[in-house]
């Protein structure tokens, strides 16, 4: 089975032009089939402030009212996505940008109201792996914005980590798929202030222990849960790593970052 790499790049890298340019240069040099999923929350917050649309965050997630869904559709699906695609084209990487609405590639439902009404936020229901496979087999690299739709004309703001994992799961029926979350830290760390404290491997048993010890807390818990869900649904390997290490991991074969295994 042919290999595929799904890579999610965090907002702190997208927001830093120097770091983004280096990351995209590394991404373009990776051989084989690949999909890039990006965030862009900091840019949306900054542009929203200029437009008088203040960010409302609850439990680390953006509450997406009618004004905010217009804002993030413009910023994620337009400004951020097309800038990344243009930069990749300049690197001779034939990228093509998508939201979930394009080609009906990711369909979601509006998140039901429980303790918090998150507004126009989508929970993924279906991924069209056949469509994405056609794009990949044509030699092009999909670049996914964190936006989906409900097939009833409504765009939905959707967590980029979730999009990356559901794409990796959906495509695992056609490829041997690995998923890499790239951000500004060198991996999952025992001590956030000590870059030498990276935990190189985590399995479900050690994950439970790290949670009990308070090493993995808060926003890292849903991210890790997402990772193990992906492994349980056919993704061969998940890694959390520093964006600047992407090339050394995928081209040079170095064992950097944190690898999650079943």
pLDDT tens-digit map of 62-83: 999 999 999 999 999 999 999 9
Q: Does domain 3-260 have CATH number 3.40.1160.10?
A: yes
On the question of pLDDT at 60 being above 80, the answer is no
Residue of 145, 159, 173, 167 lying closest to 74 (CA atoms): 145
User: 51: number of CA atoms within 13 Å, CB side?
Assistant: 15
DSSP character at residue 112? P
Encode pLDDT of 236-246 as tens digits: 999 999 999 99
**Is the distance from CB of 66 to CB of 120 less than 8 angstroms?**
yes
pTM score: 0.95
pLDDT tens profile 151-208? 999 999 999 999 999 999 999 999 999 999 998 889 999 988 898 899 999 999 999 9
Question: Under DSSP, is residue 126 helix (H, G, I), strand (E, B) or coil?
Answer: strand
Alpha helices (H) in 63-113, listed in sequence order: 66-74, 81-90
Q: Are strands 122-127 and 106-110 parallel, antiparallel or unpaired?
A: antiparallel
Cβ-contact 11, 41 below 8 angstroms: yes
Q: What ranges make up the beta strands (E) of 26-111?
A: 33-38, 57-58, 61-62, 95-98, 106-110
**Domain limits of the chain?**
3-260
């Amino acid at each position: 089975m042919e290999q595929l790499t799904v890579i999610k790049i965090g907002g702190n890298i997208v927001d830093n032009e120097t770091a983004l340019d280096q990351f995209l240069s590394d991404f373009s040099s990776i051989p084989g089939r690949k999909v890039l999923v990006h965030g862009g929350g900091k840019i949306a917050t900054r542009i929203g402030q200029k437009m008088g649309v203040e960010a409302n965050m609850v439990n680390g997630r953006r509450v997406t009212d009618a004004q905010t869904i217009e804002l993030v559709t413009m910023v994620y699906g337009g400004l951020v996505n097309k800038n990344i695609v243009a930069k990749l084209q300049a690197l001779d990487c034939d990228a093509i940008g998508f939201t979930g609405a394009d080609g009906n590639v990711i369909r979601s439902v509006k998140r039901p109201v429980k303790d918090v009404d998150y507004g126009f936020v989508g929970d993924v229901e279906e991924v069209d792996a056949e469509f994405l496979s056609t794009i990949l087999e044509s030699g092009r690299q999909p670049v996914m914005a964190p936006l989906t739709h409900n097939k009833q004309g409504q765009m939905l703001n959707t967590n980029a980590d979730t999009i990356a994992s559901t794409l990796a799961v959906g495509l695992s029926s056609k490829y041997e798929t690995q998923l890499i979350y790239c951000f500004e830290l060198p991996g999952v760390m025992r001590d956030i202030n000590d870059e030498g404290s990276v935990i190189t491997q985590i399995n479900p048993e050690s994950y439970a222990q790290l949670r009990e010890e308070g090493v993995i807390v808060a926003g890292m818990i849903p991210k890790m849960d997402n990772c193990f869900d992906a492994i349980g649904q056919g993704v061969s390997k998940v890694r959390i790593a520093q964006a600047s290490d992407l090339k050394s991991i995928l081209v040079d074969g170095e064992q950097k970052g944190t690898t999650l295994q079943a």
